[in-house]
Chain A
Amino acid sequence: MGDSPLTLAEYKNHGGTEGLRAALKLAPHDVTTLVKNAGLRGRGGAGFPTGVKWSLVPMGETAPKQKYIVANGDEMEPGTFKDRLLLERDAQQFIEGMIIGGYAIQASVGYVFLRNEYFAAAENLRRNIAEWYAAGLLGDNILGSGFKFDLYLHTSAGRYICGEETALISSLEGKRAIPRAKPPFPAQSGLFGKPTVVNNIETISNVPHLLHYGADWFRSISKSKDAGTKLFGASGMVRKPGTWELPMGTPARELLEVHAGGMRDGLKLKAWLPGGASTDFLLPSHLDLPMDFDSIGKAGSRMGTGQMIVLDDQTSLLGMVRNLEKFFAQESCGWCTPCRDGLPWTVKLLDRLIAGQGRPGDLELLTQQTKLLGPGRTFCAHAPGAMEPLQSALKYFRSEFEAGIEQQKVAA
Chain B
Amino acid sequence: MTDRASPQTSAVAALVLAWAIPGAGHAYAGRWGKAALFFGCIVGLLAAGMLLGRGTVLAPHELWYAAQLGALGPTIALTPVSQYVAVREGIDYADRWREMGVLYTAVAGFLNILVMMDAYIKMAYPHERGRKEKA
A binds B: no
B-to-A contact residues, CB < 8 Å: none
Q: List A residues at the B interface (Cβ < 8 Å).
A: none
